């Protein structure tokens, strides 16, 4: 009998796993997909918002592609319970799906600030396609948008909101913007840059209520003046979709705990993407990295192992990269390690800023920001990522880099970082062309 694989969640991790299964298996298996939503990429939603791409380009696997892959799809349906002894997943409507092995790839969901009015009209998260569609319908040129929360996801849609001709105010409860992506110095520079580009920012303010006043939205705060606007976008964090696994016996910490083959505490149950707590490549510690590259790589490793291959994962690199009003802002690895040796460089007038973090002669974290038009900003974003990712020894270059954090190129070339990274592949082979679908494996 053909092996029965069950994939729960059709986002980046789930779809990469399905494609890898088909690529790597030696005998044709049965694949069932259960997903609350149709397969699409959340990461491209900002480009759908500003109309750079049509809705059809958001999808990663259409019904036809799933049929071509021979996937039995239960779309728009949710898994409600997992019986790991009986190898059965029960859906919310009571349907039971039996499996030989399964992948948990249910990702995360947005969390709104818990204030009265948060579920009212013209108040949206921006995590799902449904929410993006609501914002697309309501955001008109000249309207005033308030973004609650100044984290990474808020920043991924900032350019799109401005491109649509809206006026933007960002409010943040923390004393500064991007609190989980860059340090104080970086945040001050980005804040000043955005203000220069017409974005109003209020930090250290606690939202207490959202009311409807004369067809508009009124935001009240614990202190300071109210803000009246047309549309509120809540970018106040996400939580992993773990609840449905309660009582299943699958070991859960901040996410589903997985080993280097993406296997959970139950040997025939795998987990991948935002839901999985796997190895951080730099620190070696368990971590939930709710980012696209991790979901892609987890999905590929899980898919290959489910197909019977023995593929071990080196761990994922924390990567945050955004461009706002033509300012590149990025951080990599252990960028907030308070015990690391650090070196910083600042050119306040550009603005340009670098922070390099060291453990011995390895670069373990970095923060970089600077105008996108400065060729060395964009190039150095890539090179710093490479240095942190590869973990190459920089012994000969450490003193130079600490003194000249803006001269990354020489250390990058001399340390043969490209030579170290180029042969690295996730599955031990080059990627195959994606063919009819935009998901490359």
Ligand X SMILES: Cc1cc2nc3c(=O)[nH]c(=O)nc-3n(C[C@H](O)[C@H](O)[C@H](O)COP(=O)(O)OP(=O)(O)OC[C@H]3O[C@@H](n4cnc5c(N)ncnc54)[C@H](O)[C@@H]3O)c2cc1C
CB nearer ligand X, residue 163 or residue 225: 163
- Non-local CB neighbours of 277 within 8 Å, separated by 6+ positions: 253, 254, 255, 256, 257, 258, 286, 287, 288
Give the footprint of ligand X on residues 271-330 (CB under 6 A): 273-275, 290-293, 295
| Contact flag: residue 158 with ligand X (CB under 6 A) | no
- φ/ψ of 383, rounded to 5, equals -70, -40
Q: Which of 127, 221, 353, 412 binds ligand X (CB under 6 A)?
A: 127
How far apart CA 318 and CA 334 sit, in angstroms, is: 8
CB nearer ligand X, residue 106 or residue 377: 106
| Contact flag: residue 87 with ligand X (CB under 6 A) | no
CB nearer ligand X, residue 291 or residue 439: 291
User: Which H or E element spans position 212?
Assistant: strand 207-213
Among the listed ranges 8-16, 203-211, 323-331, 381-389, the one in contact with ligand X (CB under 6 A) is 8-16
Q: Which of 13, 187, 199, 363 binds ligand X (CB under 6 A)?
A: 13
Among the listed ranges 199-207, 267-275, 336-344, 425-433, the one in contact with ligand X (CB under 6 A) is 267-275
Rounded to the nearest whole angstrom, what is the least distance from the CB of residue 23 to ligand X in the complex?
Answer: 18
Looking at the DSSP assignment, which residues form a beta bridge with residue 101?
5
CB nearer ligand X, residue 258 or residue 394: 258
Strands 167-172 and 144-148: parallel
Rounded to the nearest whole angstrom, what is the least distance from the CB of residue 275 to ligand X in the complex?
Answer: 6
CB nearer ligand X, residue 235 or residue 394: 235
Going by C-alpha positions, the residue among 426, 314, 307, 429 that lies closest to residue 19 is 307
Q: Which long-range contacts (CB under 8 A, 24 or more apart) does 290-297 make?
A: 290/108, 290/238, 290/240, 291/316, 291/318, 291/319, 291/320, 292/12, 292/41, 292/43, 293/317, 293/319, 295/11, 295/12, 295/13, 295/16, 295/105, 295/107, 296/12, 296/13, 296/16, 297/426
How far apart CA 408 and CA 400 sit, in angstroms, is: 9
String marking each residue 229-258 x if it binds ligand X according to CB under 6 A: ------------x--x--------------
Give the footprint of ligand X on residues 42-61 (CB under 6 A): 42-43, 45-46
Rounded to the nearest whole angstrom, what is the least distance from the CB of residue 150 to ligand X in the complex?
Answer: 14
Rounded to the nearest whole angstrom, what is the least distance from the CB of residue 140 to ligand X in the complex?
Answer: 20
- φ/ψ of 232, rounded to 5, equals -115, 130
| Contact flag: residue 36 with ligand X (CB under 6 A) | yes
Would you tell me which residues interact with ligand X (CB under 6 A)? 8-14, 34-37, 42-43, 45-46, 78-79, 105-108, 126-127, 153, 156-157, 241, 244, 273-275, 290-293, 295
């Amino acid at each position: 009998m053909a092996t029965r694989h069950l994939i729960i969640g059709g986002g980046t991790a789930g779809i990469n796993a399905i494609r890898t299964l088909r690529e790597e298996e030696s005998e044709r298996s049965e694949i069932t997909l259960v997903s609350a939503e149709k397969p699409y990429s959340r990461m491209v939603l900002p480009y759908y918002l500003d109309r750079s791409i049509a809705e059809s380009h958001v999808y990663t696997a259409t019904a036809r592609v799933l049929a071509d892959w021979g996937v039995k799809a239960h779309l728009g349906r949710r898994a409600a319970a997992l019986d790991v002894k009986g190898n059965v997943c029960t859906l919310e409507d009571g349907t039971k799906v039996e499996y030989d092995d399964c992948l948990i790839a249910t990702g995360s969901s947005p969390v709104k600030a818990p204030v009265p009015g948060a579920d009212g009209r013209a108040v949206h998260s921006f995590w799902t396609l449904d929410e993006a569609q609501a914002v697309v319908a309501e955001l008109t040129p000249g309207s005033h948008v308030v973004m609650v929360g100044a984290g990474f996801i808020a920043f991924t849609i900032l350019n799109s909101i401005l491109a649509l001709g809206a006026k933007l105010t960002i409010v943040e409860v923390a004393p500064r913007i991007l609190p989980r992506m860059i340090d104080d110095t970086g945040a001050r520079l980005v804040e000043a840059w955005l203000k220069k580009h017409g974005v109003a920012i209020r930090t250290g303010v606690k939202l207490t209520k959202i009311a409807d006043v004369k067809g508009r939205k009124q935001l009240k705060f614990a202190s300071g003046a109210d803000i009246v606007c047309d549309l509120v976008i809540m970018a106040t964090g996400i939580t992993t979709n773990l609840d449905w696994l309660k009582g299943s016996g699958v070991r859960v910490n901040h996410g589903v705990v997985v080993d280097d083959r993406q296997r959970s505490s139950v040997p025939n149950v795998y987990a991948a993407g935002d839901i999985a707590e796997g190895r951080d490549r730099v620190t070696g510690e368990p971590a939930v990295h709710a980012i696209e590259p991790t979901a892609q790589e987890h999905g590929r490793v899980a898919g290959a192992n489910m197909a019977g291959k023995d593929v071990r994962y080196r761990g994922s690199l924390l990567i945050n990269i955004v461009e706002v009003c033509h300012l590149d802002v990025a951080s990599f690895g252990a960028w907030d390690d308070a015990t690391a040796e650090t070196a910083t460089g600042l050119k306040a007038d550009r603005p340009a800023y670098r922070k390099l973090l060291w453990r011995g002669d390895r670069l373990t974290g970095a923060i970089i920001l600077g105008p996108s038009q400065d060729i060395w900003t964009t190039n150095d974003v890539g090179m710093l990522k490479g240095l942190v990712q590869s973990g190459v020894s920089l012994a000969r270059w450490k003193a130079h880099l600490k003194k000249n954090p803006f001269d990354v190129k020489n250390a990058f070339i001399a340390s043969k970082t490209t030579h170290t990274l180029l042969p690295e592949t996730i599955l031990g082979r080059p990627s195959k062309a994606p063919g009819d679908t935009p998901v490359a494996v």
